[in-house]
């Protein structure tokens, strides 16, 4: 694969994009080699530096008393609610399983991600708080250690204020109530073993007002229900659907039966909570850390020609490689290349292309040549 034009780039704002190279519509410099991007030799008329959008994950974790209980069948949900305690000291509690799965996930996430933790409740009753227990920061070794130590210090007590926890989680991720703060993609990962026990009259407000506002602010909410949450499937399913992370587009999020709903990660049916939870968190991480970047404004008055865009990255050997466009299949349904999202505000990298580009030295958008599609 030949090289694109190598005009020097203007320094970008952190996480942003800038136009560089030759102005759109002008001739390429004599030193720029041509590259076959179509039936004719074509040299890009300009390039735009691109940065993958960083992921900010806020782990919103239930620490209510029922997490002290053993898993089924050692303790059923009714017995646990009546007397929340570990009846078999030789078997792990629900909290110990959740804690270990989270620690494994945190160690596996890349340093390019950022993570924070908020627990609900925060006072052994129904309290929630406006700031995370562990503030959002890049996942370097220090932040991982702080997060793991925080999980190890938890002693499950008190009630289950899911609604209050979520509403404040959205404010923590979006303090100014705008789509752009903090920069990057933002995710809430709600993990609970129960049902709303502190503010049930606010459940409709969450679904009808706060969740739509969170989506306007581009926050996605994943929901994990561990054993004990089976009586709350309907509500958790609605939250996952309204939060933009349903298990499938046609999952059940409308049943009047509170125990019916499958839009969330439901850990209450299989019996293998450790394995199920690890798999669920792995899937959430893959989706949250997916490869996407903003579609920038093209230089010049004409604007961006969406049919004349190509994605190129520099590999570990310093060679520039082309990523083909694959718009015929969904990103999570076998696509292996790049495609626009629904409103063409982002470029999504799918399949193996995501893994290749995620480790690239640099990513650029080449303008002016017809988009090359995957065969």
Q: Report pLDDT digits (tens) over 244-268.
A: 999 988 999 999 899 999 999 999 9
Q: Mark whether 221 and 325 lie in a shared domain.
A: no
Tokens of 9: 């780039």
Q: Mark whether 359 and 331 lie in a shared domain.
A: yes
Residue 121 has pLDDT above 70, yes or no: yes
CATH of the domain at 114: 3.40.50.410
Residue 174 has pLDDT above 50, yes or no: yes
156 near 92, Cβ under 8 Å? no
Q: Mark whether 238 and 97 lie in a shared domain.
A: yes
Of 243, 267, 288, the last residue of a domain is 288
Residue 189 has pLDDT above 80, yes or no: yes
> Which of the residue ranges 221-230, 302-311, 316-325 has the most confident prediction, judged by mean pLDDT?
221-230
Strands 55-62 and 35-36, by their bridges, are unpaired
Residue 227 has pLDDT above 70, yes or no: yes
Mean residue pLDDT across the chain = 85
Of 227, 255, 288, the last residue of a domain is 288
Q: Which residue has the higher pLDDT, 269 or 35?
A: 269
33 near 309, Cβ under 8 Å? no
Query: Per-residue b/e over 226-258, b at no fewer than 16 CB within 10 Å?
Result: bbbbbbbbbbbbbbbbbbebbbeeeebbeeeee
Quote the pLDDT of residue 232. 96
Q: How confident is the model at residue 334 (pLDDT cuts 50, 70, 90)?
A: confident
Q: How many domains does the chain have?
A: 2
Q: How confident is the model at residue 23 (pLDDT cuts 50, 70, 90)?
A: very low
Q: pLDDT tens digits, residue range 34-88?
A: 344 554 567 777 888 888 888 999 999 999 999 999 999 999 989 999 999 999 9
Residue 125 has pLDDT above 50, yes or no: yes
Residue 11 has pLDDT above 50, yes or no: no
Q: Mark whether 107 and 146 lie in a shared domain.
A: yes
Q: Which residues contact 362 (CB under 8 A, 6 or more apart)?
A: 49, 313, 314
Phi and psi dihedrals of 365, rounded to 5?
A: -105, 125
The least confident of 32-46, 138-152, 333-347 is 32-46
Q: Mark whether 230 and 361 lie in a shared domain.
A: no
Of 244, 273, 288, the last residue of a domain is 288
Quote the pLDDT of residue 96. 97
Q: Mark whether 45 and 59 lie in a shared domain.
A: no
Phi and psi dihedrals of 50, rounded to 5?
A: -130, 145
| Share in percent of the chain as helix, strand, coil (round to 5) | 25, 20, 50
Q: Mark whether 145 and 195 lie in a shared domain.
A: yes
Which structural domain, as residue segments, surrounds residue 196?
55-288
The least confident of 62-71, 182-191, 205-214 is 182-191
CA dihedral (170, 175, 179, 182) positive or negative: negative
- Give the C-alpha distances (Å, rounded to integers) separating 131 from 86, 122, 287, 298, 325: 31, 11, 25, 39, 41
């Amino acid at each position: 694969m030949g090289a694109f034009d190598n005009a020097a780039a203007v320094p970008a704002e952190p996480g942003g994009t800038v136009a560089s190279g030759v102005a759109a519509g002008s001739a390429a410099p004599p030193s720029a080699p041509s590259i076959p991007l179509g039936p004719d030799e074509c040299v890009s008329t300009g390039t735009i530096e691109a940065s993958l959008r960083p992921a900010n994950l806020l782990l919103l974790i239930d620490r209510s008393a029922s997490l002290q209980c053993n898993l089924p069948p050692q303790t059923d949900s009714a017995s646990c609610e009546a007397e929340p305690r570990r009846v078999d000291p030789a078997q792990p509690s629900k909290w110990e399983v959740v804690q270990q799965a989270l620690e494994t996930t945190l160690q596996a996430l890349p340093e390019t991600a950022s993570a924070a933790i908020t627990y609900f409740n925060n006072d052994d009753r129904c309290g929630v708080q406006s700031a995370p227990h562990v503030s959002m920061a890049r996942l370097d070794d220090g932040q991982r250690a702080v997060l793991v130590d925080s999980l190890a210090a938890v002693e499950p007590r008190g009630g289950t204020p899911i609604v209050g926890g979520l509403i404040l989680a959205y404010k923590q991720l979006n303090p100014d109530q705008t789509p752009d703060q903090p920069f990057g993609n933002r995710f809430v990962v709600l993990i609970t073993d129960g049902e709303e026990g502190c503010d049930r009259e606010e459940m409709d407000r969450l679904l009808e007002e706060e969740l739509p506002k969170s989506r306007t602010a581009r926050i996605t909410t994943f929901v994990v229900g561990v054993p004990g949450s089976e009586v709350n499937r309907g509500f958790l399913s609605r939250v996952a659907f309204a939060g933009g992370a349903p298990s499938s587009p046609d999952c059940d999020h409308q049943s009047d039966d509170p125990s019916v709903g499958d839009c969330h990660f439901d850990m209450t049916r299989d019996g293998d909570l450790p394995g199920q939870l690890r798999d669920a968190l792995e899937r959430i991480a893959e989706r949250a850390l997916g490869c996407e970047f903003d579609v920038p404004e093209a230089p010049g008055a004409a604007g961006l020609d969406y049919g004349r865009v190509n994605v190129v990255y520099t590999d570990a050997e310093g060679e520039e490689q082309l990523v083909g466009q694959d718009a015929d299949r969904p990103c999570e349904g076998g696509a292996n290349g790049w495609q626009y999202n629904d409103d063409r505000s982002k470029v999504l990298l799918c399949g193996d292309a995501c893994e290749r580009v995620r480790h690239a030295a640099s990513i650029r958008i080449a303008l002016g040549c017809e988009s090359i599609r995957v065969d």
